[in-house]
Amino acid sequence: MFTVWRHYAARFLRAFAAALAILALLLIAVDAMLHLSSLFDDASSPAEALRLLVQRTFGTYAEFLIPAASFVGAFWCAGSATLHHETLALKASAISPLAAFSPLLALAGALAALHFVAIEAVGVKAAALLSAARNPSAGDVRVRGGDVWYHAGRVVYSASGVDPHSGVLSTVHVYERDQAGQLVRTIQAARAERLAPQRWAFDDALVREFDPARVAEAPHEWREPRAVLELPSDRSPRLRREELAGLPRPALRAYIAAHRATGADASDARIVLHNRLSGPFAVLAFAGLAIPLALRSEERRSLARAALQGAALFVAFLLARDMGSSFAARSPALSIAFPWLTLSAFGALGVALLARART
């Protein structure tokens, strides 16, 4: 039995790797055709255009690549065994095909863990670069992450620490945007103290002011030993979905916590976070869907119908998540529950199909 498991595990991994490479290349090619005119307007060279294209592809579609490749790998592994009468041979040897294919689910679980890491390492970083490219008004300024993040309307605060007794922030970075979301002012300071709801005192402050209408110009900057500045009090605009997609999980959680503390709505951020957290389970769910779909093709001697059914299910999953997110954004409870409900529905379908598979 171990030899059978090793054989199908190796076949699944080969099919998964091939599917991942082919799907990534297809997405890059399709995205290039859809954005060909704007691509070379934003790039100064073919190498820059390719970099932007890969950035856009992985920043937008990275979370779907591994689940899709997992489905294709499991489907091809079980489907090729069906077409080549291997399942009949297994049954003749008193081995259940589901038992023979069980390592596929174990490997899909390992790929789910890979997905969890890869999204943060590749997808989130690509999304952050993509968001920065779409909003270039920041010039050459780079965000330096702190341990504490707080978002209040048009102002984002980052600090390395907070004194719990005095509330004084240390190593502070402040990013202020206008109503269009473009950067208009940054403040770097050794420490900051809140004097009033919108008034702050910054020690050893470096202030930079940007003109969004003149992106190419250098910012006006000055340094003061102690600067007392008024920051805007309005609560809009919030971070957009594309900006939230570029935040790592700890920053997303901090963003949500900051909004909850002020009573503000953070449904969009919750949807992004829980879509990301539920993503690894989609890898396992679609591997579970692929196996019974492939086994059902045993009588027809063709994988075409089962492949179309699998593709339709994957498209339905994406549509359900995207369309449901629009409705879920109106309710804090739904914003948490909907990604998991969608995944649970497709996971339950996979379990039902596995239970009905003829073995």
Single out the residue in 224, 259, 294 at which a domain terminates.
259
CB 237 within 8 A of CB 154: yes
Which residue did the predictor score with more confidence, 247 or 143?
247
Instruction: Give the chain's mean pLDDT.
Output: 80
Q: Mean pLDDT highest for which of 9-13, 95-99, 324-328?
A: 9-13
pLDDT at 78 over 90: no
For 279, left (φ over 0), alpha (ψ -120 to 50), or beta? Answer: alpha
Same domain for 185 and 90: no
The whole-number pLDDT of residue 164 equals 67
Q: How many CA atoms are closer than 13 Å to the CA of 202, on its beta-carbon side?
A: 25
Question: φ, ψ for residue 357 (rounded to 5)?
Answer: -65, 140
Range of weakest confidence among 180-189, 307-316, 343-352: 180-189
The whole-number pLDDT of residue 154 equals 76
Nearest to 263 by CA among 290, 242, 235, 243: 235
pLDDT category at 73 given cuts 50, 70, 90 is very high
Query: Which residues lie below 8 Å from residue 75, measured CB to CB, with a gap of 6+?
Result: 290, 291, 293, 294, 303, 306, 307, 310
| Arithmetic mean of pLDDT, 320-341 | 73
Say how many C-beta atoms besides its own lie within 10 A of residue 268's C-beta. Answer: 21
- Does residue 250 lie within any of the structural domains? yes
pLDDT tens for each residue of 216-242 = 788 899 999 998 888 776 554 456 777
Same domain for 319 and 254: no
Structure tokens at 358: 């003829």
Same domain for 238 and 172: yes
- Does residue 114 lie within any of the structural domains? yes
Same domain for 119 and 7: yes
pLDDT at 69 over 90: yes
Single out the residue in 259, 280, 308 at which a domain terminates.
259
- Does residue 277 lie within any of the structural domains? yes
Range of weakest confidence among 32-36, 61-65, 76-80: 32-36
Same domain for 128 and 38: yes
Nearest to 125 by CA among 208, 309, 248: 248
Alpha carbons 29 and 254: distance in angstroms, whole number: 36
CB 272 within 8 A of CB 248: no
Alpha carbons 210 and 138: distance in angstroms, whole number: 8
The whole-number pLDDT of residue 329 equals 61
Structure tokens at 46: 């073919």
- Does residue 285 lie within any of the structural domains? yes
**Coil, strand or helix at 164:** coil
Which residue did the predictor score with more confidence, 36 or 142?
36
Alpha carbons 20 and 26: distance in angstroms, whole number: 10
Range of weakest confidence among 4-18, 98-112, 297-311, 323-337: 323-337
Domain count, the chain: 2
Say how many C-beta atoms besides its own lie within 10 A of residue 207's C-beta. Answer: 19
Alpha carbons 345 and 243: distance in angstroms, whole number: 29
Alpha carbons 189 and 191: distance in angstroms, whole number: 5
The whole-number pLDDT of residue 153 equals 67
- Does residue 264 lie within any of the structural domains? no
Alpha carbons 225 and 203: distance in angstroms, whole number: 6
**Coil, strand or helix at 63:** helix
Residue 35 burial class via C-beta count within 10 angstroms: exposed 0-12, middle 13-18, buried 19 and up:
middle
The whole-number pLDDT of residue 256 equals 81
Question: φ, ψ for residue 7 (rounded to 5)?
Answer: -60, -50
Which residue did the predictor score with more confidence, 312 or 252?
312
Same domain for 166 and 71: no
Q: Find the radius of gyration of the CA atoms of the chain.
A: 25
Query: Which residues lie below 8 Å from residue 22, measured CB to CB, with a gap of 6+?
Result: none
- Does residue 113 lie within any of the structural domains? yes
Single out the residue in 259, 277, 311 at which a domain terminates.
259
Measured between alpha carbons, how far is residue 141 from residues 137, 209, 297 in Å?
9, 11, 57
- Does residue 352 lie within any of the structural domains? yes
- The domain of 333 spans 2-136+269-356
Same domain for 178 and 193: yes
Same domain for 283 and 235: no
Same domain for 118 and 23: yes
- Does residue 67 lie within any of the structural domains? yes
Alpha carbons 170 and 194: distance in angstroms, whole number: 12
Same domain for 130 and 276: yes
Euclidean distance between the first and the last CA atom of the chain, given in angstroms as a whole number: 16
The whole-number pLDDT of residue 22 equals 92
Same domain for 193 and 178: yes
Same domain for 169 and 152: yes
